[in-house]
């Protein structure tokens, strides 16, 4: 019993000693996790903006519809960064590019009369290469568009003409505004060809009456095109001038069918029945332009939203063309 008790006491002493030893050890250090790293968000800049081109087709007196389209785009704050025009589209486009003001455009354009453009003469018809020389058109432009040169316009601008000798498209984006508009508007057989920049030029509608490709070449991301082609059918052709105008209408309408598919948004005012030289329909044409542009606004905004979304996300831009 004595020996057993001694052993128990020894074991108890060992346990007590071990407990005391452990109690004397310094406490384990408290491990504190590092604070989470907070990455401040990068400041968000304004979203990117596409370069929007307005392409205005040819159609003589029907060109007053362009005014209604431009007024609507301006009122809806759709920016226009580039204007490209053929024939009357170059005339209306140049007036707008000079001031970037649709009300000034309307005021100026509505002063325009057929007599201001067409200097018909027997001598021009018999001895020249057209019914009208085109001097009056050029003079009118000089008197109503203050900047003399295209480089001075507030909006980048280009008029499209045709090289009569070689059948090539000519883009007029520098030099005289008045001479560029005159050359772009020189309907073959109606106006005499124009000597300009070392070439003999006629109406751009011969090769491209709605020059969307020119806007693309100039870096446009979104193209809004306005087609004012005539209804080709015409049974009221009674003289040589009528023959020339009808031939031009057919030619212009055919190349529009080919090129208009490349627009992001195509606006087609319902004025195809308005005669090429019928300047009595100004108000109707402008109102038709307003209506057609208002109907196209959802498509315009969708095209802009798609472009911005593609470029904000960093994804490669998908084609916006339907």
Catalytic residue (one of 87, 90, 184, 259): 87
> Which H/E stretch holds residue 89?
helix 88-99
Could you tell me which residues come within 8 angstroms of residue 72 by beta carbon, excluding any fewer than 6 positions away?
A: 289, 290, 293, 294, 297
Contact of 192 with 132, CB cutoff 8 Å: yes
> Which H/E stretch holds residue 85?
strand 82-86
184 is catalytic: no
* Cβ neighbourhood burial of 206 (10 Å; 0-12, 13-18, 19+): buried
SS3 assignment, position 196: strand
Could you tell me which residues come within 8 angstroms of residue 247 by beta carbon, excluding any fewer than 6 positions away?
A: 189
Catalytic residue (one of 81, 119, 203, 221): 203
* Cβ neighbourhood burial of 263 (10 Å; 0-12, 13-18, 19+): buried
CA end-to-end distance (rounded Å), the chain: 106
DSSP label of 63:
G
227 is catalytic: no
Contact of 318 with 306, CB cutoff 8 Å: yes
As a whole number of angstroms, the distance between CA 226 and CA 318 comes to 23
DSSP label of 182:
H
Contact of 134 with 119, CB cutoff 8 Å: yes
Radius of gyration of the chain (CA): 36
As a whole number of angstroms, the distance between CA 95 and CA 67 comes to 10
Provide the annotated active-site residues: 87, 203
């Amino acid at each position: 019993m004595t020996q057993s008790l001694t052993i128990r006491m020894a074991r108890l002493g060992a346990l007590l000693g071990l407990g005391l030893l452990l109690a004397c050890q310094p406490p384990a250090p408290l491990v504190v996790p590092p604070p989470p790293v907070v990455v401040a968000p990068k400041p968000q800049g304004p979203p990117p903006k596409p370069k929007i081109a307005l392409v205005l087709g040819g159609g003589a007196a029907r060109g007053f519809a362009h005014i209604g389209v431009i007024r609507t785009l301006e009122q809806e704050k759709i920016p226009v960064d580039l204007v490209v025009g053929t024939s009357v589209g170059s005339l209306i486009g140049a007036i707008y590019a000079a001031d970037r003001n649709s009300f000034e455009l309307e005021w100026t354009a509505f002063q325009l009369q057929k007599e201001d453009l067409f200097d018909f003469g027997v001598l021009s018809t018999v001895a020249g290469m057209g019914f009208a020389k085109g001097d009056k058109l050029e003079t009118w432009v000089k008197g109503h568009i203050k900047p003399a040169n295209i480089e001075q316009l507030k909006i980048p601008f280009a008029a499209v003409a045709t090289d009569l000798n070689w059948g090539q498209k000519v883009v007029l984006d520098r030099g005289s505004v008045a001479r560029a508009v005159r050359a772009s508007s020189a309907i073959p057989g109606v106006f005499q060809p124009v000597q300009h920049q070392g070439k003999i030029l006629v109406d751009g509608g011969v090769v491209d009456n709605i020059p969307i490709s020119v806007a693309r070449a100039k870096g446009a991301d979104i193209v809004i095109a306005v087609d004012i082609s005539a209804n080709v059918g015409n049974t009221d052709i009674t003289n040589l001038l009528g023959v020339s105008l009808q031939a031009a209408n057919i030619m212009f309408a055919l190349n529009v069918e080919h090129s208009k598919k490349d627009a992001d948004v195509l606006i087609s005012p319902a004025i195809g029945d308005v005669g090429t030289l019928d300047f009595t329909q100004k108000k109707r044409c402008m109102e038709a332009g307003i209506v057609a542009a208002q109907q196209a606004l959802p498509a315009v905004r969708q095209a802009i939203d798609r472009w911005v979304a593609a470029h904000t996300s960093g994804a490669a831009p998908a084609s916006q063309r339907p």
